[in-house]
């Protein structure tokens, strides 16, 4: 589906391409939610694609059986990011766990605080014990926060966007709320303010399968996120690799060997599919 869809798009930038794979929950499903946000510039191309390939414009169930478009995902949405118009869908209102895309809400709240002047990307943070990598749940994706480190809020955001660090999400939550539970309440209040009635969070990272949303609401969350924070694509989501910790992040006695790890963006489509920018 990735190649089948994107190879027909013109060389204009996709606003975002986002996919959630349930393999993160060690299930046998290939993919639970698949969706694309596209800029208004290529909406005409999408309609032309529908005319050229009628099966694509049929109902999702018919499209899946047509031989042209077979989706292995439980849910799928193609949305015009400029208007919120959905131009293709499959089971868009089925409830599904958003997994690490939960971090988009965490990042959204951080960026709102920065926009308000109450925080800065350049401020330094000392991770608390609760956010250290060694204290995260088994199987967590990590940026490897540890005792004695200091890092900028910008690095923390990259730790969420590039390597999907659950420790980074916890550290961000504790920067802006007294407890993680308090931050989760902020997340759910923001989801309600966005009109996302089926979206609810129980953690800041997406680790729990009790986090819940739908393909339609997740696409809408991403649309709002990009409209409010367009700079986030270049600053965070299109960054292809990230090194941490560096010498300046660790105590002086460890700077000769800080244990730096070079991590590549978990979005394997960056640099491989024309127009994918986050």
Tell me which residues are annotated as active site.
100, 103, 164
Cα separation, 140 vs 198, in Å, equals 25
> Under a CB-based contact definition with an 8 Å cutoff, are residues 155 and 244 in contact?
yes
d(CA 107, CA 112): 9
* Residue 167 to residues 83, 92, 172, 178, 238, Cα–Cα distance (Å): 34, 30, 9, 16, 21
Sign of CA dihedral 46, 52, 55, 57: positive
Nearest to 78 by CA among 66, 65, 90: 90
Q: Which two tokens stand for residue 115?
A: 């926009």
Q: Contact at 8 Å (CB) between 62 and 137?
A: no
For residues 263 and 242, the answer to whether their CB atoms sit within 8 Å is: yes
């Amino acid at each position: 589906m990735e190649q089948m869809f994107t190879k027909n798009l013109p060389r204009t930038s996709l606003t975002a391409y986002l996919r959630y794979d349930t393999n993160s929950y060690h299930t046998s499903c290939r993919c639970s939610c698949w969706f694309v946000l596209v800029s208004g510039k290529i909406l005409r191309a999408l309609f032309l694609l529908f005319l050229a390939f009628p099966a694509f414009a049929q109902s999702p169930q018919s499209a899946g059986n047509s031989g042209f478009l077979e989706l292995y995902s439980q849910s799928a949405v193609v949305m015009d990011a400029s208007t919120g118009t959905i131009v293709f869908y499959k089971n868009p209102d089925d409830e599904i766990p958003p997994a690490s895309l939960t971090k988009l809400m965490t990042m959204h709240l951080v960026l709102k605080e920065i926009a308000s002047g109450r925080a800065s990307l350049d401020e330094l943070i000392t991770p608390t014990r609760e956010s250290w990598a060694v204290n995260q749940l088994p199987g967590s994706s990590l940026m490897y926060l540890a005792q004695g480190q200091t890092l900028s809020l910008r690095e923390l955001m990259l730790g969420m966007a590039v390597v999907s660090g659950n420790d980074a999400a916890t550290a961000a939550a504790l920067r802006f709320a007294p407890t993680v539970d308090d931050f989760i309440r902020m997340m759910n209040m923001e989801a309600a303010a966005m009109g996302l009635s089926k979206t609810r969070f129980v953690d800041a990272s997406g680790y729990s399968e009790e986090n819940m949303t739908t393909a339609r609401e997740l696409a809408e969350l991403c649309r709002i996120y990009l409209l409010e924070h367009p700079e986030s694509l270049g600053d965070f989501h299109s960054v292809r690799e990230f090194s941490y910790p560096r010498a300046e992040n660790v105590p002086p006695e460890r700077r000769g060997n800080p244990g730096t790890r070079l991590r590549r963006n978990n979005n394997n489509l960056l640099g491989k599919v024309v127009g994918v920018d986050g």
